[in-house]
A and B are shown apart, each in its own frame.
Chain A
């Protein structure tokens, strides 16, 4: 999801 992508980026 969009939220997981945000936490994936550093």
Chain B
């Protein structure tokens, strides 16, 4: 465990908590892509099947269980509890365009052709693109509430810190995970445009982020 990894995990946790608390407090999921949240729940489910096969540490187990529970809670709030506030008209990204290539790639490029390894690879590839329905929704409506942008900021920060973690691990442990690093870098690129807007608009005190 290095400082980048820990900070990355904390950012990830903060992002998910921000979203959950926002939905709970405002009793609304307006502007939130339910599709992205379902994809994230699928990411955690397929990746953390290793909870049943290997024990790494108490930290590892607790964080995995917390991520799983919170992602399912978010999906529950959007599609069940506050479903009448769910903005389905603007959440129109076609997820099959993500799922089909991601499923195909995880069968082609993996560390071992076993169900658990294919599912692990699937989760890594899917996480790289899971935010696209949310970014698509913001582009479509042309705006995002600042709290939604804080969520996206911490999610992007988590990805950036994981890259720093891999650079650190490469130099100190000679660890290099090709699948995770390549898709992690791709994923981080999706946030760059958003980061620019976040710094130039939201951090200058705008209540909403309006796209140019």
Give A residues with C-beta under 8 Å from B.
2-10
The 5 closest A-B pairs by CB, nearest first: A7-B50, A8-B56, A7-B54, A5-B175, A10-B63
Give B residues with C-beta under 8 Å from A.
5, 9, 12, 50, 54, 56-57, 60, 63-64, 67, 111, 120, 162, 165, 169, 173, 175, 177, 180
Give the A-B contact count at a CB cut-off of 8 A: 29
User: A interface, by DSSP: helix, strand, loop or mixed?
Assistant: helix
Q: Tell me the complex Cα distance, A9–B175, Å.
A: 12
Cβ of A5: which chain B residues have Cβ within 8 Å of it?
Answer: 169, 173, 175, 177
Q: Tell me the complex Cα distance, A10–B56, Å.
A: 11
Q: Is the Cβ of B180 less than 8 Å from the Cβ of A10?
A: no
Within 8 Å by CB of B54, from A2, A4, A10, lies A4
Cβ of A2: which chain B residues have Cβ within 8 Å of it?
Answer: 175, 177
Q: Tell me the complex Cα distance, A7–B111, Å.
A: 13
Cβ of A10: which chain B residues have Cβ within 8 Å of it?
Answer: 9, 12, 60, 63-64, 67
Within 8 Å by CB of A4, from B9, B12, B56, B111, lies B56
